[in-house]
Amino acid sequence: MKTNRTFPFRLYMVTDQKACLGRDFFWVLEEAIKGGVDLVQIREKELFERDFITKAQRAKEICAKYNVPLIVNDSLSVAKAVNANGVHIGQSDSSMDIAKELLGENFPVGLSIEKLHQLESSGASKAWYYGVSPVFSTPTKTDTITEWGLEGIQSIKRITNKPLVAIGNIKIDNAKQVIEAGADCLAVVSAICSAESPEEAAASIRNEIEKAILT
């Protein structure tokens, strides 16, 4: 599998404060990066905007130490305030056109794709990557009806050249299969954030990704 120069990332961590199980959020983040996470999305659904900005600024400082880009989930204003490296939007969040208008036409915007017809939606072609969600059903994503499965990854790979980030109950046991099915990158939440050692968990998943790439 060749590396996409505009999206060379393989292991994408989506943060979840609750999944950190009471441990220091920034410790979990840095340990995960040490283990091989090369792209981070900070996701906060419950913080006030000013608190989200403060948290994102500190996360960005940690990411910058390791030359890892930080993406902000959903909030265009927070992404702009902290000068994030990208933003991720879902189908029910801000539109691609609004994101590009506020942040700039060249600003990297990832887009969640939950059904094939959404590839034809307005602005979808402007996405930096497609977040294929969910690959497998997961307790952290309860607002979706279906799951893609490995066949779904294969089907979307056949009709788009966009980088595919697979998310949804991704863990060490299925990481290799998902990459082999056509995903370019794996987005992981609980399997890293809740692990006893986030560094070791990230390293193990990263190892499975590398094995899949080499086969």
Catalytic entry in 112, 133, 190, 204: 112
3-state secondary structure of 215: coil
Task: Please say if 141 is a catalytic residue.
Answer: yes
Catalytic entry in 10, 55, 60, 141: 141
Task: Please say if 121 is a catalytic residue.
Answer: no
Task: Please say if 58 is a catalytic residue.
Answer: no
Cβ density class 42-80: b for 16+ within 10 Å, e for less: bbbeeeeeeebbebbeebbebbeeeebbbbbbbbbebbb
3-state secondary structure of 157: helix
Of 209, 204, 198, 157, which is closest to residue 14 (Cα–Cα)? 198
* H-run or E-run covering 88: strand 86-89
Residues identified as active-site:
43, 112, 141
